[in-house]
Amino acid sequence: PRLDYTNSTCPSILVEPQRSNLFTYSEDFTNISWTAEAGNSITSNTTTSPDGNLTADTLTATAGNDINFYKGPFSLSGDHSFSIFLKNNGTNLIDLYVFKIGTGFASRGQINFSAETFTSSLGTGKIIKLINNWYKVTLTNNYSLGSYTFGLISSSNVGVRSAFIWGAQLEAGSYATSYIPTVASTVTRNADVISKTGISSLIGQTEGTIYAEVLYNSTTPNIAGGLDQPIISISNGMNNMINVLLQGS
């Protein structure tokens, strides 16, 4: 099984749904599917990436130019998460953005390397610090149907601006999952499935836990009329044995 060390030194089993990385060439930013604006350049395989290989690239904007580097356009709608791994190489502030063509910024967040923060002004942002001063930053939002580009920009063009980049990912979903590398085509990772047999001696066979997560609607007729509203019921097929009710008043 894959292990998740995100929140502590004691790992948990990583269980994720099926996801696809919609970006091709997720580690090769010199590919023509990525666009570097005038004054920007990409040098491939310049430093060690978060997975321990020499596959991270250097993005550089010369003096008088902002960092402006992007991929797209993509036609999409609904919840999507855009994530990338970044490391400071002389530029303390870099913005991650999603731009809707013909409209403007649809999501935007800024990483501050010295403060180790990622602050979103549009959409929901998340930052995870990794080894060797790498950070995984993510922007998530619900997008209306349209054409979008995904990229990086800097807010200052004083001096030479540079950053290390690796592992870009675009996936449909309200949160980002673990990185899925791609080359010439998109890649789908199947959902994790975990099962274990032969453990009846470890887990009681005559007791258990009932859990219900309920969205309460105050306009539900039974509640409004002062009657109990059933949530969940367990039966032996003849009689109700256990009922969980939302009590009316």
pLDDT digits (tens, 9 = 90+) for 203-228: 777 777 777 777 766 665 555 556 67
What local confidence, expressed as pLDDT, does residue 248 receive? 64
What local confidence, expressed as pLDDT, does residue 236 receive? 80
Distance (Å) of CA 45 to CA 30, 55, 58, 82, 111: 10, 4, 8, 22, 23
Q: List the chain residues with pLDDT less than 50.
A: none
What local confidence, expressed as pLDDT, does residue 156 receive? 64
Q: H-helix or E-strand containing 222?
A: helix 221-224
Share of the chain above pLDDT 90, in %: 65
What local confidence, expressed as pLDDT, does residue 100 receive? 97
